[in-house]
């Protein structure tokens, strides 16, 4: 069995090479297909093509995803259309299968050209069938059998004469059953009931194990079902992805709206008022810290930057003003201290009126927090009393 299988595999490889060439063809796809079809038509007669087709069908039943074997079968079918019809093989469907394989390998031009060539071939065959005159309907049993209508049986004169009303021959009964199952499979497949169609075809194979074409039809239906399921899964994944994106977008929009409302709820700052500016800045900082990022974050950052700049300007003015006040206080204290010193000197010289003027000026410039204020006030009171009494002799002031 191993040697036989090896021989069959070698024979199939020779068939593929004879139809497609030794390597995958390159260059323009259309001339290559036309040359392969021409060679298959001229070099192989109908009997050889039938043998090649059977070998390729058996090989494809074992390995349905071999693109070169499928391509060889299609070239054979394009060159001899009746071969595929005998085995109930759809040239357009097989072409679509091979085109999908070629497209998966990146050979998109070759796939499109293959479909175009098959479409033109099918169209030409349909036109030829339409223009050919219809053949006369056979009326004899031999004619019916020759035209493939063995499911319709001619009357048996011997049986009628003898009054034999028994059932048809088992072989004929099986053939009728097969034809009925094939019609049911076609109808089920057309309605998308792949499982029911496969069951019908499996029963056909049970009745006639030599129907390689039916085995291939079962494989095709299973392949189509798997492809349909794969497309359904891809569509489901795409729908789930779209729903996830829509949900994410809706969630993002909802969150954005909520953050925007919270930002708008922050109290506005009063221009020129440092406390309100700092309060709004702190509220914006708290919102940024809580939300991290959002689409309208740029507006919040821009607003915060303007508020910060305004607060800095106010603080700068207040700092300058305070510094100026401090400087004025320092200068006043210095002048007050000088006035106090001059007043005390004038008092020692006995010029009490002038001393009183200087000391009172020192009290005015020194302010209430001046450290020497109490001492100066005491001296002012003493000098004023002394002047009021009008002494005739000079005294000393404490």
Is the Cβ–Cβ distance between 339 and 303 less than 8 Å?
Answer: no
pLDDT at residue 172, as a whole number? 64
Instruction: Give me the pLDDT at residue 176, please.
Output: 81
Range 273-282 contact pairs with CB under 8 angstroms and sequence separation of 24 or more: 274/311, 274/314, 274/315, 274/318, 277/307, 277/310, 277/311, 277/314, 278/311, 280/307, 281/307, 281/308, 281/311
pLDDT of residue 244: 92
CATH architecture of 322-389: Up-down Bundle (1.20)
Q: What is the DSSP string of 236-304?
A: HHHHHHHHHHHHHHHHHHHHHHHHHHHHHTSPPPPTT-HHHHHHHHHHHHHHHHHH---TTHHHHHHHH
Low-confidence ranges of the chain (pLDDT < 70): 1-16, 18-29, 33, 40, 42-43, 126-173, 391-398
State pLDDT tens for residues 187-235.
Answer: 888 888 888 888 888 888 777 777 777 888 888 888 888 888 888 899 9
The predicted structure's pLDDT at residue 165: 39
Q: Round to whole Å and give the CA distance between 264 and 296.
A: 11
pLDDT number for residue 247: 92
Please tell me the predicted confidence (pLDDT) of residue 274: 86
pLDDT tens column, 258-289: 988 988 889 988 888 888 888 999 999 998 88
Q: How far apart are the first and last CA of the chain?
A: 143
All structural domains of the chain with their residue ranges? 2-129, 169-241, 322-389
- Which residue from 51, 214, 79 is spatially nearest to 71, judged by alpha carbons? 79
The pLDDT, as a whole number, for residue 3 is 53
């Amino acid at each position: 069995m191993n040697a036989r299988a090896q021989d069959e595999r070698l024979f199939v490889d020779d068939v593929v090479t004879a139809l497609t060439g030794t390597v995958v063809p390159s260059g323009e796809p259309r001339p290559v297909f036309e040359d392969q079809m021409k060679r298959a038509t001229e070099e192989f007669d109908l009997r050889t093509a039938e043998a090649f087709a059977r070998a390729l069908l058996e090989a494809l039943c074992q390995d349905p995803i071999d693109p070169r074997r499928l391509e060889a079968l299609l070239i054979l079918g394009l060159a001899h259309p009746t071969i595929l019809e005998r085995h109930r093989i759809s040239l357009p469907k097989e072409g679509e299968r091979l085109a999908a394989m070629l497209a998966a390998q990146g050979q998109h031009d070759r796939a499109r050209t293959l479909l175009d060539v098959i479409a033109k071939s099918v169209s030409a065959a349909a036109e030829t069938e339409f223009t050919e005159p219809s053949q006369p309907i056979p009326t004899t049993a031999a004619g019916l059998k020759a035209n493939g209508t063995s499911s319709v049986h001619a009357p048996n004169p011997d049986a009628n004469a003898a009054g034999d009303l028994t059932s048809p021959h088992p072989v004929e009964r099986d053939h009728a059953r097969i034809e009925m199952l094939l019609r049911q499979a076609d109808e089920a497949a057309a309605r998308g009931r792949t499982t029911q169609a496969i069951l019908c075809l499996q029963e056909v194979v049970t009745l006639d194990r030599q129907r390689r074409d039916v085995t291939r039809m079962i494989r095709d239906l299973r392949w189509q079902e798997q492809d349909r399921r794969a497309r359904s899964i891809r569509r489901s994944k795409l729908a789930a992805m779209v729903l996830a994106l829509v949900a994410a977008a809706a969630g993002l929009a909802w969150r954005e709206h909520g953050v925007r409302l919270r930002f708008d709820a922050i109290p506005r700052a009063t221009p020129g008022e440092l406390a309100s500016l700092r309060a709004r800045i702190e509220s914006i900082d708290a919102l940024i810290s809580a939300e991290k990022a959002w689409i309208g974050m740029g507006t919040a950052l821009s607003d915060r930057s303007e508020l910060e700049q305004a607060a800095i300007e106010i603080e700068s003015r207040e700092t300058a003003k305070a510094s100026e006040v401090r400087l004025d206080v320092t200068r006043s204290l210095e002048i007050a201290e000088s006035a106090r010193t001059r007043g005390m000197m004038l008092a020692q010289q006995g010029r009490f009126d002038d001393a009183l003027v200087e000391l009172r000026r020192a009290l005015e410039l020194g302010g209430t927090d001046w450290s020497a204020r109490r001492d100066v006030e005491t001296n002012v009171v003493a000098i004023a009393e002394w002047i009021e009494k009008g002494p005739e002799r000079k005294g000393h002031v404490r």
